[in-house]
């Protein structure tokens, strides 16, 4: 499953980072155009980073037997569902609303937005596979502990992939979108 995915390995093109030089990350919070909507959007990204790390670390804890099957199943059900459901909703909103707003404000960066939309497609595929494997692992914790651990062993690479993809994607997305927002005083 993971080997078949078209995963972006190239950095965001330099021309998509033009405004970042004028609006570096460390200056965002103090900029007068940095409003609550943007702060909330960045907060959602931090939440996704934490959830993906939690799901991965819980899976590792279950595999190394420092977490029991019942606790693992409860946590995976809760946090895995939050991660998958909220990421799908967030990406749908970005693709349908947020990215078109950014494109209308500054079409010079459409190539970067297209790259981010392709990232969303890749993440959706990884999340789909992750959800199926996670659901099997949860069910197996009640039926067969050995099979549950085997399924968790299949889940770990997907959890690691989600964490890796999110790290790259969210950073690129933030460094493309926030400078556009600040430059054009959007989302106020």
Cβ pair 56, 159 in contact under 8 A: yes
Q: Give the global pTM.
A: 0.92
- pLDDT above 70 covers a percentage of the chain that reads 96
* 3-class DSSP assignment, residue 13: coil
Task: Check pLDDT > 90 for residue 41.
Answer: yes
What pLDDT is recorded for position 6? Answer: 66
User: Residue range 34-47: average pLDDT?
Assistant: 95
- Compute φ and ψ for 141, nearest 5 degrees: -60, -25
Task: Check pLDDT > 60 for residue 188.
Answer: no
User: Residue range 73-92: average pLDDT?
Assistant: 97
Q: Residue 80: name the closest of 167, 159, 145, 136 by CA.
A: 159
User: Residue range 105-120: average pLDDT?
Assistant: 95
What pLDDT is recorded for position 118? Answer: 94
Q: Which residue has the higher pLDDT, 104 or 4?
A: 104
Binning pLDDT at 50, 70 and 90, where does residue 186 land? Answer: confident
């Amino acid at each position: 499953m993971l080997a078949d995915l078209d995963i972006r390995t190239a950095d965001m093109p330099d021309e998509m980072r033009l405004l970042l030089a004028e609006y570096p990350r460390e200056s965002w919070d103090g900029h007068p155009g940095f409003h609550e909507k943007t702060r909330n959007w960045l907060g959602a990204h931090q939440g996704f980073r934490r959830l993906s790390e939690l799901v991965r670390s819980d899976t590792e804890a279950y595999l190394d037997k420092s977490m029991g099957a019942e606790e693992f199943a409860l946590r995976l059900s809760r946090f895995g569902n939050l991660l998958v459901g909220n990421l799908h909703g967030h990406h749908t909103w970005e693709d349908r609303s947020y990215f078109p707003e950014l494109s209308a404000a500054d079409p010079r960066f459409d190539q970067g937005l297209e790259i981010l939309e392709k990232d969303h497609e890749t993440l959706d595929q990884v999340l789909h596979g992750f959800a199926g494997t996670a659901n099997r692992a949860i069910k197996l914790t009640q039926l067969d502990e050995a099979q549950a651990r085997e399924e968790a062993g299949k889940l770990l690479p997907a959890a690691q992939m989600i964490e890796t993809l999110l790290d790259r994607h969210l950073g690129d997305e933030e460094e493309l979108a926030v400078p556009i927002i600040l430059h054009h005083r959007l989302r106020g």
